[in-house]
Structure 1
Amino acid sequence: MSSPGTEEQGASSGTGRAEWKAPDQAASPAGSSGWLAFGGWVLVLAGAFNIIAGLASLFRPDYYVVAPGALLVFDFTLWGWIWLAVGVVQVLAGAGCLGGQRWARIAGIGLAGLAAIGHVAFLAAFPLWGLISIALSVLVMYALVVPDKNAVA
Protein backbone atom coordinates (compact mmCIF):
# COMPACT_ATOMS: atom_id res chain seq x y z
CA MET A 1 0.00 0.00 0.00
CA SER A 2 1.15 3.45 -0.72
CA SER A 3 0.84 6.18 1.82
CA PRO A 4 -1.79 8.87 1.28
CA GLY A 5 -0.67 11.55 -1.19
CA THR A 6 1.86 9.34 -2.96
CA GLU A 7 1.41 7.14 -5.98
CA GLU A 8 3.30 4.07 -6.91
CA GLN A 9 5.32 4.82 -10.06
CA GLY A 10 6.34 1.32 -11.05
CA ALA A 11 7.88 -1.80 -9.65
CA SER A 12 9.54 -1.11 -6.34
CA SER A 13 13.11 -2.08 -5.78
CA GLY A 14 14.46 -3.80 -2.73
CA THR A 15 15.24 -0.41 -1.20
CA GLY A 16 11.60 0.52 -0.83
CA ARG A 17 11.80 3.31 -3.45
CA ALA A 18 9.46 3.34 -6.38
CA GLU A 19 11.22 3.18 -9.76
CA TRP A 20 10.02 4.81 -12.92
CA LYS A 21 9.16 2.56 -15.81
CA ALA A 22 7.55 3.15 -19.17
CA PRO A 23 3.94 2.09 -19.37
CA ASP A 24 3.26 -0.93 -21.51
CA GLN A 25 2.50 0.19 -25.05
CA ALA A 26 -0.54 -1.27 -26.71
CA ALA A 27 0.45 -3.53 -29.56
CA SER A 28 0.32 -1.64 -32.85
CA PRO A 29 -1.74 -3.12 -35.65
CA ALA A 30 0.12 -5.36 -38.08
CA GLY A 31 1.57 -3.48 -41.00
CA SER A 32 1.88 -0.13 -39.26
CA SER A 33 5.18 1.58 -38.72
CA GLY A 34 6.54 5.07 -38.44
CA TRP A 35 8.30 4.67 -41.78
CA LEU A 36 5.06 3.67 -43.50
CA ALA A 37 3.28 6.74 -42.16
CA PHE A 38 6.23 8.95 -43.12
CA GLY A 39 6.34 7.43 -46.60
CA GLY A 40 2.59 7.88 -46.99
CA TRP A 41 2.71 11.55 -46.05
CA VAL A 42 5.72 12.27 -48.25
CA LEU A 43 3.99 10.43 -51.11
CA VAL A 44 0.90 12.63 -50.64
CA LEU A 45 3.16 15.71 -50.58
CA ALA A 46 5.09 14.64 -53.70
CA GLY A 47 1.79 13.89 -55.44
CA ALA A 48 0.51 17.36 -54.60
CA PHE A 49 3.71 18.86 -55.99
CA ASN A 50 3.34 16.83 -59.18
CA ILE A 51 -0.28 17.99 -59.54
CA ILE A 52 0.91 21.59 -59.24
CA ALA A 53 3.67 20.97 -61.81
CA GLY A 54 1.12 19.38 -64.14
CA LEU A 55 -1.27 22.30 -63.84
CA ALA A 56 1.58 24.77 -64.39
CA SER A 57 2.60 22.82 -67.51
CA LEU A 58 -0.94 22.90 -68.85
CA PHE A 59 -1.86 26.50 -68.07
CA ARG A 60 1.49 28.34 -68.00
CA PRO A 61 4.06 26.58 -70.21
CA ASP A 62 6.05 29.84 -70.34
CA TYR A 63 6.72 29.38 -66.59
CA TYR A 64 9.48 26.88 -67.32
CA VAL A 65 13.02 27.88 -68.26
CA VAL A 66 13.47 26.10 -71.59
CA ALA A 67 11.68 26.28 -74.90
CA PRO A 68 9.07 23.55 -75.56
CA GLY A 69 11.34 21.73 -78.05
CA ALA A 70 14.22 21.55 -75.56
CA LEU A 71 12.64 18.92 -73.30
CA LEU A 72 14.11 15.43 -73.47
CA VAL A 73 10.80 13.91 -74.58
CA PHE A 74 7.24 15.15 -75.22
CA ASP A 75 5.97 18.71 -74.98
CA PHE A 76 4.68 20.76 -72.05
CA THR A 77 1.03 19.84 -72.65
CA LEU A 78 1.71 16.11 -72.54
CA TRP A 79 3.99 16.54 -69.53
CA GLY A 80 1.20 18.48 -67.84
CA TRP A 81 -1.22 15.58 -68.25
CA ILE A 82 1.44 13.05 -67.19
CA TRP A 83 2.28 14.96 -63.97
CA LEU A 84 -1.37 15.54 -63.25
CA ALA A 85 -2.19 11.82 -63.58
CA VAL A 86 0.88 10.67 -61.65
CA GLY A 87 0.21 13.22 -58.90
CA VAL A 88 -3.42 12.19 -58.42
CA VAL A 89 -2.50 8.49 -58.24
CA GLN A 90 0.37 9.31 -55.83
CA VAL A 91 -2.02 11.16 -53.51
CA LEU A 92 -4.40 8.18 -53.56
CA ALA A 93 -1.57 5.71 -52.94
CA GLY A 94 -0.25 7.89 -50.12
CA ALA A 95 -3.68 7.88 -48.49
CA GLY A 96 -3.73 4.08 -48.87
CA CYS A 97 -0.31 3.86 -47.21
CA LEU A 98 -1.58 5.91 -44.29
CA GLY A 99 -4.40 3.37 -44.02
CA GLY A 100 -1.85 0.52 -43.92
CA GLN A 101 -2.84 -0.95 -47.29
CA ARG A 102 -0.26 -3.26 -48.86
CA TRP A 103 -1.37 -2.48 -52.44
CA ALA A 104 -0.76 1.22 -51.76
CA ARG A 105 2.72 0.52 -50.49
CA ILE A 106 3.63 -1.43 -53.64
CA ALA A 107 1.98 1.17 -55.89
CA GLY A 108 3.74 3.97 -54.00
CA ILE A 109 7.15 2.41 -54.58
CA GLY A 110 6.42 2.01 -58.30
CA LEU A 111 4.99 5.51 -58.64
CA ALA A 112 7.94 7.06 -56.83
CA GLY A 113 10.35 5.26 -59.19
CA LEU A 114 8.30 6.35 -62.20
CA ALA A 115 8.21 9.95 -60.95
CA ALA A 116 11.99 9.95 -60.38
CA ILE A 117 12.59 8.78 -63.97
CA GLY A 118 10.06 11.33 -65.24
CA HIS A 119 11.79 14.14 -63.39
CA VAL A 120 15.08 13.17 -65.03
CA ALA A 121 13.41 13.59 -68.43
CA PHE A 122 11.81 16.88 -67.28
CA LEU A 123 15.06 18.14 -65.67
CA ALA A 124 15.84 20.71 -68.38
CA ALA A 125 12.57 22.53 -67.69
CA PHE A 126 13.02 23.01 -63.96
CA PRO A 127 16.44 21.74 -62.78
CA LEU A 128 16.38 22.57 -59.07
CA TRP A 129 12.82 21.40 -58.57
CA GLY A 130 13.55 18.25 -60.60
CA LEU A 131 16.44 17.35 -58.29
CA ILE A 132 14.31 18.01 -55.20
CA SER A 133 11.52 15.83 -56.61
CA ILE A 134 13.96 13.03 -57.41
CA ALA A 135 15.25 13.19 -53.83
CA LEU A 136 11.66 13.07 -52.49
CA SER A 137 10.95 10.06 -54.70
CA VAL A 138 14.00 8.20 -53.40
CA LEU A 139 12.97 9.04 -49.83
CA VAL A 140 9.47 7.69 -50.46
CA MET A 141 10.88 4.47 -51.94
CA TYR A 142 13.13 3.97 -48.91
CA ALA A 143 10.35 4.70 -46.42
CA LEU A 144 7.97 2.25 -48.11
CA VAL A 145 10.57 -0.52 -48.45
CA VAL A 146 11.67 -0.47 -44.79
CA PRO A 147 10.13 -3.53 -43.08
CA ASP A 148 7.36 -3.12 -40.54
CA LYS A 149 8.10 -3.29 -36.80
CA ASN A 150 6.38 -6.66 -36.53
CA ALA A 151 7.89 -8.20 -39.68
CA VAL A 152 9.67 -11.53 -39.45
CA ALA A 153 12.49 -12.46 -41.77
Structure 2
Amino acid sequence: MSEQSLVKQGVAQGTSMAGAVLLVTVGVLEFLQGISAIAKDQVIIAGIEYTYQFDVTAWGWIHLVLGVIVAGIGAALFTGAGWARVGAMTICAVSIFANFLWLPYYPWWSITIIALNAVVIWAVATWNPEAF
Protein backbone atom coordinates (compact mmCIF):
# COMPACT_ATOMS: atom_id res chain seq x y z
CA MET A 1 0.00 0.00 0.00
CA SER A 2 1.39 3.42 -0.93
CA GLU A 3 2.12 6.17 1.54
CA GLN A 4 -0.52 8.40 -0.07
CA SER A 5 -3.12 5.64 0.36
CA LEU A 6 -2.15 5.20 4.02
CA VAL A 7 -2.53 8.93 4.62
CA LYS A 8 -5.93 8.91 2.90
CA GLN A 9 -7.04 5.95 5.02
CA GLY A 10 -5.76 7.66 8.18
CA VAL A 11 -7.79 10.75 7.37
CA ALA A 12 -10.85 8.63 6.53
CA GLN A 13 -10.49 6.64 9.78
CA GLY A 14 -10.10 9.78 11.87
CA THR A 15 -13.02 11.44 10.12
CA SER A 16 -15.12 8.27 10.56
CA MET A 17 -14.44 8.27 14.31
CA ALA A 18 -15.26 11.99 14.39
CA GLY A 19 -18.33 11.13 12.32
CA ALA A 20 -19.37 8.58 14.95
CA VAL A 21 -19.09 11.29 17.60
CA LEU A 22 -21.03 13.67 15.36
CA LEU A 23 -23.74 11.09 14.74
CA VAL A 24 -24.21 10.50 18.45
CA THR A 25 -24.27 14.26 19.09
CA VAL A 26 -26.65 14.96 16.20
CA GLY A 27 -28.85 12.09 17.34
CA VAL A 28 -29.13 13.52 20.84
CA LEU A 29 -29.78 17.02 19.48
CA GLU A 30 -32.41 15.77 17.02
CA PHE A 31 -34.05 13.85 19.87
CA LEU A 32 -34.16 17.02 21.98
CA GLN A 33 -35.39 19.03 18.97
CA GLY A 34 -38.18 16.48 18.55
CA ILE A 35 -39.17 16.75 22.20
CA SER A 36 -39.21 20.54 21.88
CA ALA A 37 -41.41 20.43 18.78
CA ILE A 38 -43.81 17.97 20.43
CA ALA A 39 -44.06 19.83 23.74
CA LYS A 40 -44.07 23.43 22.52
CA ASP A 41 -45.16 23.43 18.90
CA GLN A 42 -46.25 27.09 19.08
CA VAL A 43 -42.59 28.16 19.44
CA ILE A 44 -41.62 26.90 15.98
CA ILE A 45 -43.01 29.01 13.12
CA ALA A 46 -43.05 28.19 9.40
CA GLY A 47 -43.76 30.42 6.46
CA ILE A 48 -47.28 30.41 5.06
CA GLU A 49 -46.21 29.19 1.60
CA TYR A 50 -44.56 25.95 2.75
CA THR A 51 -45.19 23.13 0.27
CA TYR A 52 -44.66 20.19 2.66
CA GLN A 53 -47.60 20.55 5.03
CA PHE A 54 -46.85 18.64 8.24
CA ASP A 55 -47.95 19.58 11.69
CA VAL A 56 -44.99 20.66 13.83
CA THR A 57 -45.88 17.89 16.29
CA ALA A 58 -45.54 15.36 13.46
CA TRP A 59 -42.13 16.83 12.62
CA GLY A 60 -41.27 16.53 16.30
CA TRP A 61 -42.01 12.80 16.27
CA ILE A 62 -40.02 12.38 13.05
CA HIS A 63 -36.98 14.10 14.60
CA LEU A 64 -37.37 12.23 17.88
CA VAL A 65 -37.37 8.79 16.21
CA LEU A 66 -34.64 9.82 13.76
CA GLY A 67 -32.52 11.11 16.65
CA VAL A 68 -32.69 7.78 18.48
CA ILE A 69 -31.73 5.85 15.34
CA VAL A 70 -28.90 8.27 14.44
CA ALA A 71 -27.42 8.10 17.95
CA GLY A 72 -27.65 4.29 18.01
CA ILE A 73 -25.94 3.88 14.65
CA GLY A 74 -23.34 6.49 15.65
CA ALA A 75 -22.51 4.44 18.75
CA ALA A 76 -22.27 1.25 16.65
CA LEU A 77 -19.98 3.02 14.15
CA PHE A 78 -17.22 3.07 16.78
CA THR A 79 -16.81 -0.67 16.19
CA GLY A 80 -16.14 -0.20 12.47
CA ALA A 81 -18.59 -3.00 11.64
CA GLY A 82 -19.71 -3.18 8.04
CA TRP A 83 -23.41 -3.01 8.93
CA ALA A 84 -22.78 0.10 11.05
CA ARG A 85 -20.99 1.78 8.16
CA VAL A 86 -23.85 0.99 5.75
CA GLY A 87 -26.36 2.03 8.40
CA ALA A 88 -24.50 5.30 8.98
CA MET A 89 -24.54 6.16 5.29
CA THR A 90 -28.23 5.25 5.01
CA ILE A 91 -29.33 7.16 8.10
CA CYS A 92 -27.26 10.17 7.05
CA ALA A 93 -29.07 10.18 3.70
CA VAL A 94 -32.43 10.00 5.51
CA SER A 95 -31.31 12.78 7.86
CA ILE A 96 -30.28 14.94 4.88
CA PHE A 97 -33.73 14.45 3.37
CA ALA A 98 -35.55 15.20 6.64
CA ASN A 99 -33.45 18.29 7.30
CA PHE A 100 -34.02 19.50 3.73
CA LEU A 101 -37.74 19.38 4.44
CA TRP A 102 -37.11 21.09 7.83
CA LEU A 103 -35.34 24.06 6.14
CA PRO A 104 -38.25 26.55 6.49
CA TYR A 105 -38.38 26.00 10.26
CA TYR A 106 -34.66 26.28 11.13
CA PRO A 107 -32.61 26.99 7.97
CA TRP A 108 -29.14 27.41 9.51
CA TRP A 109 -29.52 24.35 11.71
CA SER A 110 -30.74 22.29 8.75
CA ILE A 111 -27.90 23.42 6.48
CA THR A 112 -25.35 22.62 9.19
CA ILE A 113 -26.75 19.13 9.76
CA ILE A 114 -26.91 18.47 6.00
CA ALA A 115 -23.23 19.44 5.63
CA LEU A 116 -22.15 17.33 8.62
CA ASN A 117 -24.06 14.34 7.28
CA ALA A 118 -22.32 14.74 3.90
CA VAL A 119 -18.92 14.68 5.65
CA VAL A 120 -19.89 11.55 7.57
CA ILE A 121 -21.03 9.82 4.37
CA TRP A 122 -17.72 10.64 2.67
CA ALA A 123 -15.65 9.46 5.61
CA VAL A 124 -17.53 6.21 6.15
CA ALA A 125 -17.57 5.41 2.43
CA THR A 126 -13.82 6.07 2.10
CA TRP A 127 -12.65 4.32 5.28
CA ASN A 128 -11.28 0.78 4.95
CA PRO A 129 -10.87 -0.64 8.50
CA GLU A 130 -8.76 -3.56 7.20
CA ALA A 131 -6.10 -1.17 5.84
CA PHE A 132 -4.44 -0.86 9.25
Question: After TM superposition, is the score higher than 0.5?
Answer: yes
Does structure 2 conserve the Cα–Cα contact (< 8 Å) formed by 1:116 and 1:134? yes
What are the Cα deviations for residues 61-94 of structure 1, in whole angstroms up to 9, with x where unaligned? Answer: 1222326884624211111111111110111101
Q: For residues 59 and 15 of structure 2, what CA distance do their matches in structure 1 show?
A: 30
Structure 1 gaps, min length 5: 1-31
Q: 2:112 is aligned with what amino acid?
A: I
Identity of aligned residues (%): 26
1:65 and 2:26 aligned: no
Residues 142 and 73 (structure 1), Cα distance of their counterparts in 2 relative to 1, 3 Å cut: farther
TM-score if structure 1 supplies the norm length? 0.70
Does structure 1 conserve the Cα–Cα contact (< 8 Å) formed by 2:27 and 2:71? yes
Structure 2 gaps, min length 5: 1-11
| Stretches (4+) displaced over 3 A | 67-71
Q: Secondary structure at the match of 2:52?
A: coil
Match of 1:47 in 2: 27
Higher relative contact order (CA 8 A, sep 6+): 2
CA RMSD across the alignment: 2.3
Superposition deviation, residue 125 in structure 1:
0.8
Q: Secondary structure at the match of 2:42?
A: helix
Match of 1:84 in 2: 64
Q: For residues 137 and 146 of structure 1, what CA distance do their matches in structure 2 show?
A: 14
Residues 63 and 71 (structure 1), Cα distance of their counterparts in 2 relative to 1, 3 Å cut: farther
Residues 97 and 149 (structure 1), Cα distance of their counterparts in 2 relative to 1, 3 Å cut: closer
TM-score if structure 2 supplies the norm length? 0.80
What are the Cα deviations for residues 15-70 of structure 1, in whole angstroms up to 9, with x where unaligned? Answer: xxxxxxxxxxxxxxxxx932321221111111112112111110111222326884
Q: Which has the larger radius of gyration?
A: 1
Q: For residues 128 and 147 of structure 1, what CA distance do their matches in structure 2 show?
A: 29
* Larger proportion of helix: 2
Q: Secondary structure at the match of 2:89?
A: helix
State which drifts further: 47-56 or 87-96. Answer: 47-56
